[in-house]
């Protein structure tokens, strides 16, 4: 949360951190000191300023590279649920993007997405009709967002939505590192008959910057085999269909 705020505002105070994270100023000061020791920000009197590393931390390329092999296997498993003639929502998550390469053999698919990498993967396959949601292009995230995107999105319905999440927890549901990203993903979930959430096990029982949907929107959670046995037990006890890669 601290790094995300610095990405937007360039600087932050100890009081800001304490209020935003609901912690004491002593804890806030300690957190800033720890982040500085990792080179992620620069401490100032009463707060901190942005480090040059922060844009890299939130870049699409860096997020896509993190746990890449796990993400590919998660997408491979998710693709087994796709059938000919399906209408699909695919969001711009860095796990979900790998799904595109596994669906090119299907007949008469319809894919609705705001992700440019997904479009780029599918553009050469006439058997797949692609609807790109227009709007404001976010160059860093390689996707479209904003009021126009949300307005167009409301016109569509799908059989299945394949969505990413920066965090998922039983208490707070699905969360994202960005409000506009979470807003589009929530609309996809609300407009689909089945919702598949694809995320690697490092994101389970974690909360990101903004919560965008409750846990009960999830029909299937697809993750990797490194999920902790305790988390797996918890989710299945709460009737979440958890599917694991091999």
- The domain total for the chain is 2
- Both 166 and 234 in one domain: the answer is yes
Domain boundary, last residue among 57, 83, 103:
57
Reported as a pLDDT band with limits 50, 70 and 90, residue 139 is confident
- Both 168 and 142 in one domain: the answer is yes
- Both 143 and 85 in one domain: the answer is yes
Q: Is 72 exposed, middle or buried (0-12, 13-18, 19+ CB in 10 A)?
A: middle
- Position 164 scores a pLDDT of 95
- Both 67 and 48 in one domain: the answer is no
The CATH number of whichever domain residue 157 belongs to comes to: 3.40.50.1360
- Position 54 scores a pLDDT of 52
- Both 98 and 174 in one domain: the answer is yes
For residue 224, pLDDT beyond 90:
yes
Mean pLDDT of 110-117: 97
Of the chain, the percentage scoring pLDDT greater than 90 comes to 76
Q: How far apart are CA 176 and CA 9, in angstroms?
A: 18
* Beta carbons of 171 and 238 less than 8 angstroms apart: no
The CATH number of whichever domain residue 32 belongs to comes to: 1.10.10.10
For residue 151, pLDDT beyond 80:
yes
* 152 token code pair: 């167009």
- Both 27 and 146 in one domain: the answer is no
- Both 233 and 130 in one domain: the answer is yes
- Both 33 and 132 in one domain: the answer is no
Domain that holds residue 20: 2-57
- Both 13 and 90 in one domain: the answer is no
Lowest-confidence range among 31-45, 95-109, 165-179?
A: 31-45
- Both 82 and 145 in one domain: the answer is yes
* Beta carbons of 209 and 1 less than 8 angstroms apart: yes
What pairing do the DSSP bridges indicate for beta strands 87-90 and 158-164? parallel
- Both 76 and 162 in one domain: the answer is yes
Lowest-confidence range among 34-38, 168-172, 182-186, 224-228?
A: 34-38
Q: What is the mean pLDDT of the chain?
A: 91
pTM (2 decimals)? 0.76
Q: What angle do CA 144, 224, 83 make, to 5 degrees?
A: 60
């Amino acid at each position: 949360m601290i790094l995300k705020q610095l990405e937007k505002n360039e600087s932050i105070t100890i009081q800001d951190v304490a209020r935003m994270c609901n912690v004491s100023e002593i804890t806030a000061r300690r957190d800033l000191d720890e982040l500085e020791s990792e080179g992620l920000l620069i401490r100032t009197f009463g707060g901190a300023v942005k480090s040059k590393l922060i844009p890299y931390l939130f870049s699409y390329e860096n997020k896509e590279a993190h746990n890449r092999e796990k993400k590919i296997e998660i997408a491979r498993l998710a693709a087994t649920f796709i059938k000919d003639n399906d209408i699909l929502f695919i969001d711009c998550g860095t796990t979900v993007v790998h799904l595109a390469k596994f669906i090119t053999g299907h007949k008469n698919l319809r894919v609705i997405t705001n992700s440019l990498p997904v479009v780029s993967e599918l553009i050469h396959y006439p058997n797949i009709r692609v609807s790109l949601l227009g709007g404001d292009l976010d160059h860093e995230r390689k996707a479209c967002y904003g009021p126009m995107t949300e307005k167009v999105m409301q016109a569509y319905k799908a059989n299945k939505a394949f969505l990413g999440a920066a965090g998922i927890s039983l208490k707070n549901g699905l969360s994202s590192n960005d409000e506009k990203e979470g807003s589009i993903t929530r609309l996809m979930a609300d407009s689909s008959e089945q919702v598949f959430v694809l995320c690697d096990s490092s994101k389970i029982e974690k909360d990101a910057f903004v919560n965008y949907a409750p846990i009960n929107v999830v029909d299937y959670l697809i993750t990797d085999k490194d999920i902790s046995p305790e988390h797996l037990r918890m989710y299945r006890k709460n009737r979440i269909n958890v599917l694991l890669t091999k």
